[in-house]
Structure 1
Amino acid sequence: MARTAARTVASTVVIAAHPQMAQSRVTARLMRRAARAGAHVDVRDLYALYPDYWIDRAAEQAALADAELIVWLHPVQWYGMPPLLKLWLDEVFAYGWAYGPGGEALRGKALWLVVSTGGTADNYGATGIHGRPFADFLPPYERSAALTGLRWCDPLVLHGAHRADEAALQAFEDRFAVGLDRLSGDPRGD
């Protein structure tokens, strides 16, 4: 599933990050679905590519160079992204490449956040355990997109992933596939 550092021309790059992929109910499933989408989709499993946390900046920047759509696919952990994805962001979205003077490499591309949460939708809100709506946890993602000139796409979120039944998982996977086709401009999409 994970691609090596070899360069492929893809209009969509899926950056997947799950620290325990063997236990994943959502991320692994969506990675498989994206991998079946065709040559226009490059699926990059960060924990498989970089188990030592040494990010190959040049390879990652090269993977993003021709992308029209970048997908961040991960479970939400402590109200944000898993640690290797944060390190990837710190390394790959470098000053002078992704932002700042000369930092135009990502400008005009789209960023789509696809995440799962352990908590249910009811857990997010004034009376829920998290005390805030889920949208209140998105500003770091949105601001990262804005700073780098990425076009922010409405996120796709599956709440209560631990308790989702097969029908809910399949429906979420189908929504992901439709969104992937639509956002990537794949002519097979609707």
Structure 2
Amino acid sequence: MASRKLLLLFFHPRFEDSRVNVKLTEGVKHLSGITFRDMYELYPDFNIDVEKEQSLLREHDIIVWHHPFYWYNCPPLMKQWLDLVLEYGWAYGTGGNQLQGKWVMNVITSGGDFHVYQKEGRNRFTHREFLNSFDQTANLCKMEYLPPFVVAGANKLSEEDIEENMIWYQQILHFLMKEPIDLDKLKQVDNFNQIKSAEWEHPFYKTP
């Protein structure tokens, strides 16, 4: 099968202060088949080139929204991007089918560990539940919303932990771009963190 082209949109207003995101992005931005865009570097004034962004979306098969998890949501530039780029009549609504069938996922870093993102935890909901608005955005635009990849407890991770997450991130993106995937089965997973690489061959590979 032909490789899928992946557009990685990275939104972080304080990128230079995030050792986790520096490592994660360094590990993936030069991979073959990926178009990497540091959105705060491109649009420091929030003056988004809507036509350019829409053109890039049309040219790619998979879109990754990589961002820190600010107040259970995304940074302000990403919200601006969603508001302006996903236009009525283009991304959704009457005649809005430009993104139909494309895949999209969130990659997030959060300060809280997984145990505080549970029904019984301090935050009362899981990361995946907080991401439901992005899932619905994808649904409205007729896109396929994939399980997120969550780097939790980011402020407490050791260098070894960060390296492990970076390698896992590389494997996920390679998997999405290169492999025949049973999408229905993959979408039943809460997040990519639940999948061990050894399990990929069986429930998620599509039989030719």
Hey, what's the Cα distance between the residues in 1 that align with 2:22 and 2:88? Answer: 31
Hey, what's the Cα distance between the residues in 2 that align with 1:27 and 1:98? Answer: 29
How big is the shift at 1:186?
Answer: 7.0
Over residues 112-154 of structure 1, what are the superposed CA-to-partner deviations in whole Å (9 max), with x where a residue is unaligned?
A: 2111100111111233221222222011010011011111111
TM-score (norm 1): 0.88
Alignment match, 2:121: 128
Secondary structure of the residue aligned to 2:73 is: coil
Secondary structure of the residue aligned to 1:26 is: helix
Q: 1:180 to 1:101 in 2, by over 3 A?
A: same
Secondary structure of the residue aligned to 1:14 is: strand
* Aligned residues with identical type, % of pairs: 34
How big is the shift at 1:37?
Answer: 0.2
Secondary structure of the residue aligned to 2:67 is: strand
1:14 aligns with 2:11: no
The counterpart of 2:81, out of the listed 88, 93, 100, is 88
Secondary structure of the residue aligned to 2:41 is: helix
Alignment match, 2:65: 72
Secondary structure of the residue aligned to 1:114 is: strand
Q: What letter matches 2:19 in structure 1?
A: R
Q: Higher mean Cα deviation, 128-137 or 17-26?
A: 128-137
Question: Which segments of 5 or more consecutive residues in structure 2 lack a partner in the other structure?
Answer: 181-200, 202-208
Contact 1:16 1:27 in 2 (8 A): no
Alignment match, 1:48: 41
Q: 1:186 to 1:49 in 2, by over 3 A?
A: farther
Hey, what's the Cα distance between the residues in 2 that align with 1:186 and 1:18? Answer: 29
Alignment match, 1:150: 143
Hey, what's the Cα distance between the residues in 1 that align with 2:58 and 2:109? Answer: 27
TM-score (norm 2): 0.81
Q: What letter matches 1:123 in structure 2?
A: V
Q: What letter matches 1:56 in structure 2?
A: D
